[in-house]
Amino acid sequence: MKLIAGLGNPGSKYDLTRHNIGFMALDLIANTFLIPMELEKKHKAIVGKGMMGSEKVILAKPQTYMNLSGESIRSLSDYYGIDPEDIIIIFDDISLDVGQLRIRKKGSAGGHNGIKSIIAHLGTTEFPRVKIGVGERIPGQDLADHVLARFPKSQMEAVNQAIDDAKEATFLMITEGIDKAMNQYNGKQK
């Protein structure tokens, strides 16, 4: 069984913001694989249970706000007995161009508060992740203003392609392994 979590902030005011691209990717996964999602208060997440290929999956959108994502991930991993290496986190990365993907087996938080929280709650950096590029901030722009801003229309084609790529990469990670997904998606030019 795998736990796949897309990171973001709850509430409609955060819809289509850079920080919520993980939610957007998870919604596409849920829709594609016909996995119904519902709020589970005990795990502080919107959760769905279903199949991707022959693998049982738990999909999750933590509802704790980004900086506390680890609370929800830890609760779900403990409840379902899922080891960190079977948890895939999908989230935004400002160091990647809009639409670019980077898949990693493990690593530091890289300044991302949601990942910092997950590392703190799981006690390890050893969990796979799918980073979706949302572009760097304008020099002098506050980081929070950048990640909480909506994508301009001019970037939506690249954003939608990246979300689709994240869905496909996640499926590949589950069905054929992370190395195959890394080879196919890391470094792919937009």
DSSP, collapsed to helix, strand or coil, labels residue 160 as helix
Out of 19, 43, 112, 121, which one is annotated catalytic? Answer: 19
Q: Coil, helix or strand for 139?
A: coil
- Is 121 an annotated catalytic residue? no
Non-local (6+) Cβ contacts of 27 within 8 A are: 6, 37, 61
Joined together, the tokens standing for residue 9 give 């902030």
Cα separation of 114 and 112, whole Å? 6
Task: Please say whether the beta carbons of 181 and 173 come within 8 A.
Answer: yes
Cα 173 to Cα 102: distance, rounded to the nearest angstrom:
13
Query: How far apart are alpha carbons 22 and 137 in whole angstroms?
Result: 18
What strands lie across the sheet with 129-133, from one edge to the other? 37-40, 45-52, 55-62, 2-6, 87-93, 129-133, 101-104
* Residues assigned a catalytic role: 19
